[in-house]
Amino acid sequence: MFQRIFLTIKLYSQRHRRYSIWIVVVVPLLLYIINVARNTQPDPFDQPFCNPSDGVCHEKPNVASPRTVYSAWNKEQYDQWWKYHEILNQRAAEYAAKRTIYQANPHEEQQKTRPLILLGDSITESWLGTGLGLPKHRAEGVPEVLNSQLSASQGFDPLVLAVSGDQTQHLLWRLQHGQLLSEYSNDPTAMFVVLIGTNNLGAGELPGPTARGILAVVEYLLKNTSKESSLLIFEVLPRGDGKTWLQDLCPPRCQMSGLPYTSFLPPIQKTNQAVREGLEKLRKTYKASESRLKLMDGGMEFLDSANPDLEVKESLMPDLLHPNAEGHKILAKCIHQFRDHK
């Protein structure tokens, strides 16, 4: 476009030589300045999730919200989130249609499976071997664990409704916008598994609000699923990437000395303690037994007491955050324990 404008200016200046210097020099300079200014506009995605000056975060963990310019790293990830949200809505609709057929033919072996709805972030999406719907090397082997330990051969009919990078408010929003359908939410045999919250802490949110976000998800499920269905809530798993990740969160999340924190384990412990206390209140409010609502501490096996520098076992969490296939076998074992306990 600018080449065409320049050629037009050049032709005009050749015909009107008295204005040639102004036209040939000044006008292109102005166009250049305009172009530079346009290309240096602030990137709306290039801003912290929590305000460095006062620590206030731009989304509330217990208030449903889609991903925004604050929680998406860039425009590409933002667009991919919306695209994958629609894909999950379609999968949920197809799954609901299948469960309707199963309910109409309860005597066939395949139809005897119980719905297993897996809800969460990248750790849960790893069951599919993907992150935001795209193949992930770190999740290699995890779908095989799902197929061998949480599939029809084990009496389950799994549906994975998880998105890499999601926080509690994003999961809550997805549940309210197409991913919790009556065909399986009202099924008394359904089992819902929730693992969420680490990305709230990873974005700079405090333990208290993070716990409230987890509890908001739990309460929404208690209100909108069959009273005979089962809810298994995993505590936030430990992670060992604090030494590198927490540097980017200071400010506002800094020690009294002004230096960055070095470990996620203290805020994770505070979050899990607050969730434990909040779940007891929800049990009383909704008269939910242990078989209806269970909090699972699946993180102890991931901790590496022999190597405090890593904090978690590399053999189970190679990147110190995401469980690999062996790590997901532990999560699958927890799900079986809950099912068998009931």
Task: Look at residue 31 in the predicted model and tell me its pLDDT.
Answer: 60
Task: Look at residue 311 in the predicted model and tell me its pLDDT.
Answer: 96
Q: How many CB atoms lie within 10 A of CB 54?
A: 8
Task: Look at residue 10 in the predicted model and tell me its pLDDT.
Answer: 53
CA distances from 37 to 23, 28, 74 (A): 21, 14, 20
Q: How many CB atoms lie within 10 A of CB 153?
A: 10
Task: Look at residue 2 in the predicted model and tell me its pLDDT.
Answer: 46
Q: Which residue has the tokens 């197929």?
A: 147
Residue 251: asked if its preceding bond is cis (omega within 30°), the reply is: yes
Task: Give which of 237, 22, 233 is closest to 123, Cα–Cα.
Answer: 237
Task: Look at residue 183 in the predicted model and tell me its pLDDT.
Answer: 96
| Positive/negative CA dihedral, 48, 51, 57, 59 | negative
Q: How many CA atoms lie within 13 A of 261 on its CB side?
A: 20
Report, as ranges of residue numbers, the positions in the chain whose pLDDT lies below 70.
1-40, 109-110, 342
Structure tokens at 315: 């053999």
State how far Cα 278 lies from the chain centre. Answer: 22
| The 191-195 sheet, strands edge to edge | 156-162, 114-120, 191-195, 230-234, 293-296
CB 50 within 8 A of CB 253: yes
195 vs 328: CA distance, rounded Å: 12
Q: Is the pTM of this model over 0.95?
A: no
Structure tokens at 276: 């434990």
Task: Look at residue 340 in the predicted model and tell me its pLDDT.
Answer: 82
CB 219 within 8 A of CB 282: yes
